[in-house]
């Protein structure tokens, strides 16, 4: 079960490439985004649902942002293949090395939902002494 629908993603996104993708392709992008979000949260999304079994609004926005990112990446052949320039008839263009499209920063949206036990593991003390 996905927490957002392809239709919600299409209405959220301003990008024509996302709006033109098929619902089946967008569903795969959403699954990718859910997996990325669970990895970042260090727990299943189902563990952070509110009492109505709904996704909290901040997590919903984070999921929409990630799904849009994956839809853009998966819809652009030049990014997937690593092209930096392309020529079509009399027209040609050059893009950067793919660094122009970066994963959105969702840390502010998900901060309150990260598993506390995992956050404690990240804090540590590292001491070195000379020999």
Confidence check: pLDDT of 110 > 70: yes
pLDDT digits (tens, 9 = 90+) for 9-30: 999 999 999 999 999 999 999 9
What is the average per-residue pLDDT within 60-86?
Answer: 81
Share of the chain above pLDDT 90, in %: 52
> Which two structure tokens, joined as six digits, stand for 10?
């299409």
Q: What pTM was estimated for this model as a whole?
A: 0.75
What is the C-alpha to C-alpha distance for residues 122 and 67, in angstroms, rounded to an integer? 27
What mean pLDDT is reported for the chain? 83
| 41 and 113 Cβ atoms separated by less than 8 Å | yes
Helix (H, G, I), strand (E, B) or coil at 70: helix
Burial of 15 (0-12, 13-18, 19+ CB in 10 A): middle
Q: Given this model, what pLDDT does residue 99 score?
A: 55
34 vs 120 pLDDT, higher one? 34
Helix/strand/coil percent split, the chain, to 5: 55, 5, 40
What is the average per-residue pLDDT within 80-107?
Answer: 66
Q: Given this model, what pLDDT does residue 128 score?
A: 79
Q: Given this model, what pLDDT does residue 84 score?
A: 61
Angle between helices 57-75 and 23-41 (to 10 degrees): 120
9 vs 130 pLDDT, higher one? 9
């Amino acid at each position: 079960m996905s927490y957002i629908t392809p239709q919600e993603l299409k209405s959220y996104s301003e990008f024509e490439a996302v709006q033109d993708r098929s619902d089946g392709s967008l569903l795969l992008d959403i699954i990718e985004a859910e997996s990325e979000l669970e990895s970042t949260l260090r727990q299943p999304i189902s563990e952070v649902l509110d009492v109505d079994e709904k996704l909290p609004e901040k997590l919903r926005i984070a999921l929409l942002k990630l799904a849009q990112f994956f839809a853009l990446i998966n819809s652009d052949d030049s990014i997937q293949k690593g092209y930096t320039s392309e020529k079509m008839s009399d027209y040609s263009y050059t893009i950067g090395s793919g660094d122009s499209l970066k994963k959105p920063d969702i840390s502010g949206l998900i901060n309150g939902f990260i598993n506390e036990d995992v956050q404690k593991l990240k804090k540590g003390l590292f001491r070195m002494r000379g020999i």
